[in-house]
Structure 1
Amino acid sequence: MLSSVILFSLLSGITVFLGGLFALFFEKSFKKGFLKEEIIHFFIAFGTGIMLSAISFVLVPHGLEKIDVLVAILLILLGGVIFYILDSYIQKKAGNISQIMAMLLDFIPESIALGALFAYDYKVGMVLALFIGLQNFPESFNSFIELRFSGFKIKSSLIILFLLSFIGVIFSLFGYYFLSKSPFITSALMLFASGGILYLIFQDIAPSLRYKNNRLIAIGVNIGFIVGIYGNSFT
């Protein structure tokens, strides 16, 4: 079981680095212009769809299995409030790495839940790993672009993303060793993360989807959500 936790947390985390590599290819292949901006916005939309599917099919449904509805509501609200406070702090202090910090805000609690889930629901753990990996890819894509725009060199940007790829393993192991026998806490964490992710989606991500009155980009949300539906079909 421990080997599965390490393997799947690695697979879900390595997409942080792969997203950066793809962004590097994208940077070299596309010149500045309308098409490049549209693709970037589409990736933002796709990531939003994946995040929504993670909330809809894994985090909230499985979180509600062990927790009363009223407590769940409070946890989701608490997640939104805490993420609001952290997001405000990041915007003021992190500056040129705010996108990376925002990515870690949902990556860390999801990884903790991932490690805990594997102990008593292997299939759901695998699906959550899939969602985390798919979610990290477009987020790290945008993080690499943000780092480059902020003056970081290619090598430095890739090193940062490569190191962050292993954050998931660390926190998944934490969840496995300390929360695997506490399904209530794991469920609470998933609901808390859901509230935080919802806040991030509609505060930071959704407002940026609209680009020069091109409504087609928002279809990326649908595509991301459909991918989530397909992933959930394996449970």
Structure 2
Amino acid sequence: MPDVLLAIVYGLFAGLMIPAGGYLASIERIQPNWLEQEFRHSVIAFGGGILVSAVAFVLVPEALDLLPIWASVLTFFGGGALFALLEYLQSKKASQNAQFIAMLTDFVPEAASLGAMMAARTPEAALLAFLIGAQNLPEAFNAWRELRGGRHHRRAHVMRIFFVLALIGPAAVLLGYFFLAERPILTGTIMMVAAGGILFLTFQDIAVKAHLKYKQAPSLAALLGFSLGMVGHALVS
């Protein structure tokens, strides 16, 4: 399969995990107390674990190969500061859409980075595609619950949004494949900014929402998410 076509397939796979996660979240009235409490918190923690594994095993290592250490540290903290600003602006609107924001802000730069890695034929590209899809599923699950929590958005409307977001995957991958492949400094910068932003959101919003008093399952789910990234890293290394 030509590399560009494979890149589109990877991007489409990662993107389609968004409506898939939304569909799973739309299945209600199956043990609702369990779904709303321990299971939901475990899904949040699982997604957080995958996000951290993407930072640890793909984004930061790949960016360090493209940027000097001073630029890596600067852009990493710059990414965290940028996402902190976005989170602050969102909080001023009194909206609780942290998972939806996280899904939007990490999906696009990761998909663009994936395209650049595909053009460079980097072995870790397959791992990144898998991790993007794996993190989009729980993020979309929780984003659906957030958007539908106040009943301000209809089910069909939210699902349409999720399918539109799914198409961003192939578009961002193609952007990275054709535009970023010959710009390693820009590619590394995008990776580090995304890594810093993801880590900030993980500790600022996701880990906090994952906590459930007197329950250990969410914390174990976070370990499971990180372990999934670890296994993927071992398989492609």
Structure-2-length-normalised TM-score? 0.93
1:117 match: 117
Partners of 1:162 and 1:146 lie apart in 2 by: 17
Q: Tell me if structure 2 keeps the 8 A contact 1:87–1:102.
A: no
> Once the 2 structures are TM-superposed, how far is the Cα of residue 213 of structure 1 from its aligned partner?
2.4
CA distance in 2, matches of 1:170, 1:29: 36
CA spacing shift, 1:12–1:217, aligned 2, 3 Å: same
Q: What does 1:150-189 correspond to in 2, within 5 Å? A: 150-151=150-151, 152-189=153-190
Q: Is residue 12 of structure 2 the alignment partner of residue 4 of structure 1?
A: no
The aligned counterpart of 2:201 is 200
- What is aligned with 1:82? 82
State the distance in 1 between where 2:132 and 2:18 align: 10
8 A contact 2:98–2:206 mirrored in 1 = no
Comparing 8-17 with 182-191, which one deviates more in the overlay?
Answer: 182-191
Please identify, of 10-19 and 120-129, the stretch whose mean Cα deviation from structure 2 is larger: 120-129
| 2:192 is aligned with 1:191 | yes
Answering whether residue 219 of structure 2 is matched by residue 214 of structure 1, we say no
* SS in structure 1 of the partner of residue 66 of structure 2: coil
In structure 2, distance between residues paired with 1:167 and 1:80: 23
Query: SS at 1:118's partner residue?
Result: helix
Matches of 1:35 and 1:98, distance apart in 2: 19
Q: Aligned runs of 1:125-144 on 2, under 5 Å?
A: 125-144=125-144
1:47 aligns with 2:59: no
Distance 1:96 1:199 in 2: 16
Asked if the contact 1:22/1:141 (under 8 Å) is kept, the reply is: yes
CA distance in 2, matches of 1:161, 1:97: 14
SS at 1:121 equivalent: coil
Q: CA deviation at 1:150?
A: 2.2
Contact 2:46 2:218 in 1 (8 A): no
Contact 2:18 2:165 in 1 (8 A): yes
Q: In the comparison of the two structures, how many residue pairs are matched?
A: 233
Identical residues among aligned pairs (%): 37
**Which of 3, 12, 15 is 1:13 aligned to?**
15
Match of 2:73 in 1: 73
Structure 2: gaps of 5 or more residues:
none
Q: CA RMSD in A?
A: 1.6
Q: State the match for 2:62 in structure 1.
A: 62
The gaps in structure 1 that reach 5 residues or longer are none
Matched to 2:127, the amino acid is V
Deviation at 1:161, TM superposition (A): 1.1
